[in-house]
Every structure is written in structure tokens, then in C-alpha cells.
Chain A
Amino acid sequence: MQDPKQVARYGLDALLEAGADKAECSLTLTDKHELNVELGEFALMRTTFDTQVDLTAIRDNKKGSTSINKSNNDSLDRAVADVLGIAAASSPDDAYDIAEAQPPAAFSSGSDSPDVDRMHSRMKEMLESIKVRYPKLVLREAYLDFTRTRNYFLNSNGVDFVTNKGVYTLVAMFSSRDGEKVSSFNYTAFSLKDLERDLLSCGSLDMLMQQSTEQINTRPLEGKFVGDIIITPDCLGDMLHFLSYSIGDGPMISGTSIYKDKLDEQIASPLLTMHSRPVSDEICNGYFVTPDGYAAQNGTILQDGVLKTFLLSLYGSRKTGLDRAVTSGGAFVVDPGHTPLEEMVKSVKKGVLLARFSGGSPSDNGDISGVAKNSYLIEDGEIRYPISESMISGNVADMLMNVAAVSRERVDYGFSICPWVAVSGVTISGK
């Protein structure tokens, strides 16, 4: 393959020569090395190489885009012709644009290549620890990958960014079994910049595996009551996703976002401060360039419960007349609170420690209902027993307002950092 920067330059120049008024070309080269475990045994070693070329053209305020995974000149020439044809077919829209000029920059994080022997030894160490510590646990599947991504982003306003990122990620899915009794499955994932620590000590893996073995014997909740829930860091993503989706392009452009007029207003408890920090040192699996071609920056979404930014792209910004966000979301870091987790549990009269939420997507107004999986009944300030066949119903927007405590402790997943969050006034129903 020729010099990747030259490939991206060829694609950009070809778009302009073909008549684009404005153009973007992004070339991404990805190498992935992955070790797979099935049923507690090594099963597969996988090596994949991929190329992605994303081409965008704007001509007469009409926009088209295409992606291919070939980088030779013939393929690029065909894709350029396609993208101009796609643009010609589109409707004109003054909001179509590309990022303005920024100083050229090269970003990098992590290693250039995997330590495959270390990957194998860390996985083997994890499997052996699990056998000793959690003999009833069935590791249904787990994979540890090292992914190296090189991206070359050019646009006709002079944007010229090079990104080189290497990161390890572990994904694990497991359940526990004792005779004919089986627990609910659970899963988690985390990213690491290196393999210095044993895998079982990273993220929430050890805690969830211990809980899994406890969850072989569950009891359904009886009846229906309004109580408190303590949302675990693994489960908090569902709540954060609703917020980040609602303040993003789709609902903001369509006008259906319940937060569309709430900038600088209180939309969550003052206990909640949340950031998107894609270029922070504390996030090893972030990003350096937004999809629309801006150097990503860290941003605060909620400051003491007040909405500080929408998550609008350049297009979303121009459609709504509101500011473009300096981040494109994700890489969420929620500030720790002042309450130890143990005290949060003690303060619950009757409720649920919600460790996994299996439910329908929230509706546009935030209504949500689903099953409390891998979860526990809390009564009189004590975690009583793992539950099954129990549902949670509420409204995510209300839940954000009704946060009663945020834990001092947090879990670091490499792509986000989250605490435990206590919420009051949630409907909990059993059999």
C-alpha cells in the first residue's frame, strides 16, 4: 500500500477535481489481534486487517457520502464518481458544511503493536484465577483484543489530522451454574493502554463474577412498591445514554427532545456532574477527532445538574442555530460523590441494587420499563438476596432529577468512569 497520507490526499483531490465545492476524505487502517475464550477454554486466535475510506462531497449545497474498504486508485476513482452522483441526487441544504481550517496535528495514544505472548499469559492467568475463586462460574465467552487504528483526516478547508491509537479491550460474558440451577448471564468490558495489571482486577470484572455465583439462587419480588434503586456503574450507561441521545442531533433537529429549551437549566440533581472527556489522560479509549472533522475537546455536559451543552454536530448546530459541541459524546466521566457506597445502601428502606437493566429503549419523553437483572433486594439498609422476575418502571428524566446520592467509589472502564447512583421514587414490581 502506498503512503496512507498520500491515499487520503488522492481521495480529497479527486473529489475536488470531480467538481465538489467542499470535500472530506478520511482513511482508517485497523489491525486487530484477538484471543477468544469459549466455555473457559482458549478457542480462537484472530488477526484482521481492514481499511476504510470515507468520502464526502458537497456541491451546490447538496451532500453525498460513501465508504469503501479499498484504497487503490481505481477503487477511489469509482467511489469519487459515486459520491458526486449521490450528492447530485440529494436535496440542497444550507446546513451542509465541513469543518473550518484548524492547525494540522498528529495525535497518538497507546502502543503500536500487541504483546501477543502477554495477551495469552494474562488471559491464562485470568482463567486459572476464575477456576480457583469461582468454580461454579461458566465463562461463556471472553475476548481480549489489541486494536491499532491509524486515521488520516483531510478536508478542503485545510484540516489535516493524523491519529495513531493502540488499545487493549477485554469483553467477558458469564453465568454460574450449580446442578440444574443457573444464574442470569452478565457481562462487562473495559479498555486498557497496557497489560500491566491482572485482568480480573480491572473494571468491575471480579465484583460481577463474585455476584454471579451468588445469583444462582434468586427469589422473585412479591407485589409492587415505589422504592429506591442504587444503579451500579455497569448499569448507569443506560441512563446516561438517554440523556446524550436526547441532546444529540436526531431529537434536537426533529424538535422532539424534552431538553431542547433547557440549556443552562437544572435537568438533573445538583449531585450529578458529568463530562465527556475523549482526550483526557484518564480515558485510554477515547478519540481525538470528531466525525465532522474537529479536534475533539473535553466538555462538561452536566455541572451540578445544570445542562451545559447539547451534543450537536456541525450539521445539527447549523440546523438548530445552537452551538456545536466540542465533543461528540461518549468517554463519559461522572464525578464521584461524597457518600460511601456502604452508606448509600444503609440509607435505603426498601429498594433494589440495579446491576443490569434489560428493558425497552426509553421513549422520547423518558418513560422506561424493564427487568432488573443480576440485581438484589435492599431492605432496611441491607442487601438481602438476589432477585429474579422483577421489573423497574419509571421515567429517566425524572430519575435524573431524583438522584439522592452519588458514591465516592467509581469504576474505571477505560472508555468511561462511573460511580454508583441512588435514585428515589421508582416503581418496582414482582410477581
Chain B
Amino acid sequence: MYSLDLREYAELFTAYTELRAQENRNVRITFVRGNNTHNSRTSTSGISARVYSNGSWGFASNPEITEDALKLAIEAATDNALFLDSRERKGKGQLPVATASSVNDYSTRKPRLGQMELLEFARELDNHIALKYPELASRITGINCLDMEKTLLTSDGSYSHSMVPRSFIYVVLSLVKDGVPTELSNVYGGFGQFEDVFTSPSQLFDGIETQYEHLVRKSQGVFPDAGLKTCVLDAELAGILAHEAIGHTTEADIVMSGSVASGKVGEEVASPLVTLIDFANSYGGETCPVPIYVDDEGTKAEDAVIIENGILKGYMHNKESARHLGVLPTGNARAYQFSDEPLIRMRNTAILPGTDRLDDMIASIDDGYYLIRPSNGQADSTSEFMFGVTLGYEIKNGKIGRAIRDTTISGVAFDMLKTVTMVSPDMKWLSSGMCGKKQPIPVGMGGPAIKCKVTIGGR
């Protein structure tokens, strides 16, 4: 990616400094109804420095990765920190020292596919959909790949290099019934470069068949009956619940701004069936979707146990919040682009599996909903959350009923988690979305299916 060895420039540091070189590489291909509407590759790279002075931070970045640009970035970041310090005089002490090193390169060892091969892959998949499902009013087939490569050096002596890739194929299918369009999308893929994730278009055919069957039922779907309902949230919804509803309220900067989780460590906030962890890099012996070994402040990334058997155990930290609250940093400081400063971000946040079978969970509900696929989500400082739901079914007398139209569910997380009565033993990771908090960032969200009470929107 770049030839500079950052370690040769440590002597330029005059205060606590983080020096980072980074490149984000993106491939985007889209076919809309067979039209190749997007076909591009982008690369964004550069160097940044962040400097700390008595509680004030300075940051600067430059798109060139050269010795001159590096020196300029360190100088400008130092000047910025001194400018703020000279006016604010916060007089805060040193940050905790956290020294770590790692090299984690998840580049594929297979020959790389060029744009021609990737386009052909997407085109073949799109042709399959067009031929197999002629009833579709429209379809979108696309490829989206992101490689994030970072090298970090800190004045504490931390050094790390990482290349974390993710690759997705997204398929959006649309039917029009009685003039009303109905759409259902799904994302396939996850952690790894394209060649390690996908072998051939036919690998997705079964998944697309299931997606189409759901779409047909959804096109005949009904509006949910609005109100508080007993629901089974399938794994993808449990994952977004872990991230949005709990995760955000336990990021230490949000806690310090007064989130509902503030001051509740040691208190019961959920059913004893609920354990929730923000994993740094691996779970159950397998690599998580967004493996972080050393964060962008140079701290060794540790698993952050948020809820254990229903009891709130702790928060996610960077160095500054850890010092403020008198705990150890957890390695949650992450930046998206070379020109972004590290913020407290989740990594791989998951509710851990239980022992109840999904079939038994559905059979135990007389009147409720089985909710399968989320769209977007948002949480609040009050722990009130909402998620869009694009795929779900009624449950009537313990059996799956009619499909429902797009809806939204909501609740207050610390109340809703106390209504969890069953948790399934399977675990599914969702990693295609971007979490937004000043900057976007890739995150992993995981979970089993859970039975609980939530408010559902409808008519």
C-alpha cells in the first residue's frame, strides 16, 4: 500500500501522538434491471496525526503518504492541540499508557479477480434471476467490497498493521401486485476478500429462491396490528438489537453524556437469559466479521462484557473515557478514513445463544409476530430503540400465518430485555451495514433468536 515505515519517524513526536497511514479500497458494481448503472473502483489513502496536550486534542491529515506530508501532519496536529490548550487550559493529566503490537493481514491468498471477472459474476447472477423469476417487476444485483488497511504508530510504542476486508453481494427483488410495489432485499457475504467469500454465482441460488418465496408472500401481506406484542426476533434482529438498543447506550462517551446506562453497573437491566458482549476479534474459536486486535489509539482490543446474565457489567472505552471512569481502556477507539479521528465504536456486538428451539418459541405464542429481517435502526440515550422490519410473519395459535408488510418495531431496551423468556442456541452474524456516529464504520452484529415483547407499528 505505502512504502514509508512509520517507526522511523517516532523522533518527531513531542507529545502524546498517534500517527496513522491508511487506505480504504472500494469496489462497487450495480445492475438495475440488467442495466449496469454503477461500475467503479475507488481508493482513498493518506496519513494522519493526532496529538494530545493537557486535555485538548489536535488532528491533521494529508492525502499524500510521503515524508514531507507526514511531518506536516504531525506539525499541524501539534499546533492544533496547542491552540486549543492555550485557550482552554483544561489541565487534564496524561492518558493511560497502553502498549500493544500486532500484524493481521486478511488479504486473500487466491489470485485476485479483476473488474471484468467481478462484472461477469454479477451479470451471471443477474441473468439467473431474470430468467428464473420472470414475474419480477424489477431487480437490483450488486457487488460492494471494502478493504481497510491501516498502519499505526503511537508515542507509547504501540505499532500495528491490519488489512480487514469485507465483501457483499446485494440482491433487491420487486413485485408489483394491483399496482402496489413490494420489495425485499437481502445481502450475502461478509468478512473476507471476494475470492474467499464467493466461489460462483450458483452458491447464492438457494438463498435467492428463499428470498423470492418470502417476497411472493410479502406481496400478499397485511399490515401488522399496531401495539405491544409478543414477538420472536430472529437472529438478524437480535443482532441489531444488541448493537442499537444496548450497544450505543453503553459506549462510554454516550454514558458520560448521561445515557440511561450511566450509573447502572452492577444492576439488573435484563432477563438472566441475556448476556451481551462486544467481541474484539473472535468468538467460539472463529474470527468475527470485524476483527480488531489493536485499536486506533494503540490499545490492545479486549472483549467488552456489557451484560452478563442480565447484570450490567461495564462499558466500551477509549483511553480518555477509561481514565475518566477509572477503568482500563477496552480498545474500542476506531476511525473510518485516514482523515478521521478515532471515536468510541463497537466492533462485534452480540447477544449470546441460549437453549430454546426456534420452533418451540413460535409454538408458545398465541397472537404475535415472527420478525426476520431488519433494515435500518436507531437507538436513543433513553435506550428507546426502533428498527425497520422488512420481513416478518404473523404468529397465530403457535403457527406461522400471513406475511406482514414493512413495519417498524420499538421499545425501551432496558425494559424490553426483561421480557426475554426464550433464547435459541444458534448464532448469526450480520455485518453488511455501516454504523453512523459522525463517521460511518463497519461493525459486526450477532445473536440468536429471542422471544420478547416489543411495540410494532401498523394500522
Q: Which chain A residues have a beta carbon within 8 Å of chain B's beta carbons?
A: 36, 38-39, 41-51, 63-70, 82, 85-91, 93, 95, 116, 120, 138, 140-141, 143, 175, 177, 180, 182-185, 224, 249-250, 253-256, 258, 315, 319, 358-361, 363-365, 367, 369-371, 373, 388-389, 391-393, 427, 429, 431
Contacts and interface: CB of A to CB of B under 8 A. Distances in A.
B17 interface: no
A431 B138 contact: no
Contacts of A70: 45, 63-64
A45 B183 contact: no
A67 B40 contact: yes
Given A45-B80, A175-B381, A361 B376 contact: yes
Nearest to A75: B43
Contact of A182 (B56, B259, B458): B259
CB-based closest 10 A-B pairs: A360-B388, A369-B457, A89-B116, A254-B138, A45-B80, A177-B258, A364-B181, A44-B57, A140-B257, A67-B42
Contacts of A89: 39, 114-116, 118-120
A370 B386 CA distance: 7
B456 to A, nearest CB: 8
30 contacts: A42-B88, A44-B84, A49-B62, A50-B63, A66-B42, A68-B44, A69-B43, A69-B46, A70-B45, A85-B114, A85-B116, A88-B116, A89-B118, A90-B36, A140-B381, A184-B380, A185-B380, A253-B35, A255-B138, A256-B181, A319-B35, A358-B410, A360-B389, A365-B182, A367-B405, A371-B410, A388-B382, A391-B408, A393-B223, A427-B459
Contact of A393 (B42, B174, B458): B458
B257 A253 contact: no
B87 interface: yes
B341 interface: yes
Contacts of A69: 43-46, 63
A345 B341 CA distance: 44
Contacts of A66: 40-42
Contacts of B256: 39
Contact of B388 (A36, A253, A359, A392): A359
A361 B381 contact: no
Nearest to B84: A45
A369 B458 contact: yes
A253 B386 contact: no
B332 interface: no
A177 to B, nearest CB: 4
A365 B87 CA distance: 54
B57 A51 contact: no
Interface of B: 32-33, 35-37, 39-46, 48, 56-64, 76-77, 80-81, 83-84, 87-88, 90, 114-116, 118-120, 123, 137-140, 174, 176, 180-183, 223, 226-228, 253-254, 256-260, 262-263, 339, 341, 375-376, 378, 380-382, 384, 386-390, 405-408, 410-412, 438, 455, 457-459
A45 B39 contact: no
Given A49-B62, A91-B123, A363-B182, A370 B457 contact: yes
Given A82-B41, A175-B258, A370-B388, 16 more contacts: A36-B57, A42-B84, A42-B87, A45-B83, A45-B84, A46-B341, A63-B39, A69-B46, A69-B63, A91-B36, A93-B35, A180-B263, A185-B380, A224-B227, A360-B388, A371-B408
B18 to A, nearest CB: 12
Nearest to A391: B457
Given A39-B257, A41-B88, A391 B226 contact: yes
A90 B119 contact: yes
B297 to A, nearest CB: 13
Contacts of A367: 223, 405-406
B33 A184 contact: no
A51 B42 CA distance: 13
A38 B181 contact: no
Contacts of A87: 39
A373 B339 CA distance: 32
* Residue of B43, B381, B390, B411 contacting most chain A CB atoms (<10 Å): B381
B174 A363 contact: no
Nearest to A67: B42
B274 to A, nearest CB: 21
Given A185-B381, A364-B182, A47 B59 contact: yes
B181 A258 contact: yes
Contacts of B253: 38-39, 140
A249 B60 CA distance: 37
B268 to A, nearest CB: 16
B40 A65 contact: yes
Nearest to B43: A68
* Residue of B46, B182, B410 contacting most chain A CB atoms (<10 Å): B410
Contact of B80 (A46, A359, A361): A46
Contact of A256 (B176, B227, B457): B176
B183 A363 contact: yes
A1 B43 CA distance: 19
A365 B174 CA distance: 11
Contacts of A141: 438
A258 B174 CA distance: 13
B84 A86 contact: no
* Residue of A45, A67, A249, A364 contacting most chain B CB atoms (<10 Å): A45
B457 A429 contact: yes
B182 A427 contact: no
Contact of A388 (B48, B88, B183, B384): B384
Given A361-B375, A373-B380, A49 B61 contact: yes
Contact of B228 (A39, A369, A431): A431
* Residue of B42, B48, B83, B114 contacting most chain A CB atoms (<10 Å): B42
* Residue of A87, A175, A359 contacting most chain B CB atoms (<10 Å): A359
Given A46-B341, A253-B35, A365 B46 contact: no
Contacts of B380: 184-185, 358, 373
Given A44-B57, A360-B375, A360-B408, A427 B226 contact: yes
Contacts of A391: 226, 408, 410, 455, 457
Contact of B386 (A67, A140, A359): A359
A138 B176 CA distance: 48
A371 B387 CA distance: 10
A271 to B, nearest CB: 25
B87 A361 contact: no
Nearest to A253: B32
A274 B317 CA distance: 45
Contacts of A224: 226-227
Contacts of A364: 174, 181-183
A50 B339 contact: yes
Contacts of A183: 381-382
Contact of A86 (B41, B45, B341): B41
Contacts of B457: 359, 369-370, 391-393, 429
Nearest to A124: B87
A279 B412 CA distance: 44
B378 A358 contact: yes
A65 B39 contact: yes
B33 A255 contact: yes
Nearest to A176: B258
Contact of B341 (A44, A49, A389): A44
A39 B90 CA distance: 13
B35 A138 contact: no
Contacts of B228: 431
Contacts of B123: 91
A273 to B, nearest CB: 27
A45 B58 contact: yes
A221 to B, nearest CB: 11
A393 B62 CA distance: 47
A327 to B, nearest CB: 20
A185 B48 CA distance: 31
A41 B37 contact: no
Contact of A360 (B41, B84, B407): B407
